[in-house]
Structure 1
């Protein structure tokens, strides 16, 4: 039986106005989080840090957020951002397993060194609480399902290694400097504002964009590989709760709900949402991809008993609705 962490909530900030910093705030998860943070009356200031290499200004239109355009590798940008912050939510990263295989040094600098730079800024400015985003990819080829947090990481891509470094640095800063940290392992997050217009796009926006454009859906492998798809609304709900209660944990926490869904099932649900059949083309598996992924969500449930999972159909409907106005539909 593995050990679950005990929630740590700092009640000293209860009722006080909060400044929250979101690195990667113009990106997919970051911009959805900014929207969710803006709905909380206790959060009176939101600062987003983003170099716009993968994020977009359009994601933050009409939101009450101050955007600092710059890299998390620049201490001056971070110094300006984090002064007086109650929490930093560190989402800034360079995603994609294939991209990391093409350029491992760039992924390392953005993800591992970037995290270290953010943690140093938190230490310099005495920011008490940092939430960091890791990835289920750190489990790699470990065959145990569902994957609980005490399993041995077996990463098989530079991206996964860089994310393992992200969470390890956060836990080390908690041990050395008393920083309250909460490292999450995200599992295949999808939803509105997820980019699909680049070579390293994730599977759900690729499928939705292809379907809306009348193109075949490209599947790497036979489509029976499984993922614990997590709608972005679940992720932002949990993170907002985490910063309001200043939740920390002595170890990493899976942020997913323990549901294995194959790519073929995603395609079937997408067909149901669109009301038509979709053409599928199969190709060879991609290097660095794991075969199956499923979270043990016990630790999440202990820390966040109110966390809720959005059904795949609901999440796909929201994703299609957002993308439909941005994709030229063919025939």
Structure 2
């Protein structure tokens, strides 16, 4: 098959990561179907693809098995990104998180199995490592989950493994580590930390850190994640399939270091940002203190080579943040 004959379904395709995947595979001349219920995704993220001959938008819900079956019709590969992806939201509403992340995931697996999908690549999560204190995180050593969200993402891995064993499906899970970049929504109670901090700094508001700022994360630029999905989708080594991979850069950054970097880059647009103070509050329920990924497995089996460090990713994204998160700019 040539690329133009290959159809890829991207669930959650109107979201932050999903829309970046839509862009990438359209640019590579694949047929792309974007499947989203727009509960957390936004049509603005895919508006520029409207009318493209290789792009189809299907509004539906992964909690509806009939929607899932319609979405996979005629599709060769699935990139499953759809989920409710917030630890605090899952603590507040575990039932809906489970319905979407477990029930919806199972629906997509069943629909994909019945449609004879060639490979099912899905967004797993670093939250699966739970209370494990080992650093760096390696795929086969996890702890107990610390949130309902973490439980749901671990259950996804278990279901994928069972479907591989019981039905011969090819699945690959990608444990994302704190992804950031263009189109990440800074609004709402469950916004990711980087766009939220950027939005606050642009408004000369003090970013509020949960804890003392020494908690650290393996922040991962969106283009690294896109690369990992493409590698997983088309890897031919049979040993690389039906398993899990960390997707990260492999570098730990504290929240204090993050804020300092953001202030440095944003100060090029507005020097006053350098003088904005940081506020500190209570630690957040379900948070892990530190996260750092080993990417050795992905490097070896997927030929994953992340192209952006944290600073390189921030530098690449800062222009988009400035243009889109300033006061008076509509929600992106």
What TM-score does the superposition give when structure 1 sets the normalisation length? Answer: 0.91
Task: Tell me the alpha carbon deviations over residues 102-152 of structure 1, each in whole angstroms, 9 at most, x when there is no partner.
Answer: 000110111011110000000111112100111001111111100101103
Which of 238, 241, 248 is equivalent to 1:256? Answer: 248
| Contact 1:255–1:300 (8 Å) recurs in 2 | yes
Distance (Å, rounded) in 2 between the aligned partners of 1:234 and 1:33:
11
The aligned residue for residue 290 of structure 1 is 288
| Contact kept? 1:254, 1:295, Cα under 8 Å | yes
> In structure 2, how many angstroms separate the alpha carbons of the residues matched to 1:154 and 1:285?
19
The runs of 5 or more residues in structure 2 that have no matched partner are: 268-273
The 3-state SS of whatever aligns with 2:275 is: coil
Determine the structure 1 residue equivalent to 2:19. Answer: 31
Partner of 1:51: 37
In structure 2, how many angstroms separate the alpha carbons of the residues matched to 1:246 and 1:205?
Answer: 36
Could you tell me how far apart the structure 2 residues matched to 1:109 and 1:160 are?
Answer: 14
Helix, strand or coil at the partner of 2:292:
coil
> Contact 1:129/1:246 (CA < 8 Å) preserved in 2?
no
- State how far apart, in whole Å, the 2-side matches of 1:77 and 1:142 are: 37
Q: Which has the higher contact order (CA 8 A, sep 6+)?
A: 1
Mean Cα displacement is larger for which, 238-247 or 86-95?
Answer: 238-247
Q: Secondary structure at the match of 1:252?
A: strand
Q: Which residue of 2 aligns with 1:192?
A: 182
**2: CA distance, partners of 1:326 / 1:250:** 39
Instruction: Please give the secondary structure, in 1, of the residue aligned with 2:285.
Output: coil
Q: Which has the higher mean CA deviation after the structures are superposed, 102-111 or 65-74?
A: 65-74
CA contact (8 A) 1:230 1:256 kept: yes
Q: Structure 1: any 5+ residue segments left out of the alignment? A: 1-12
Between 260-269 and 244-253, report the one with greater CA deviation: 244-253
Q: Which residue number in structure 1 is paired with residue 5 of structure 2?
A: 17
Displacement of 1:329: 4.5
1:82 corresponds to:
72
Aligned pair count? 316
Cα RMSD of the aligned pairs, angstroms, is 1.7
Higher mean C-alpha displacement, 67-76 vs 156-165 = 67-76
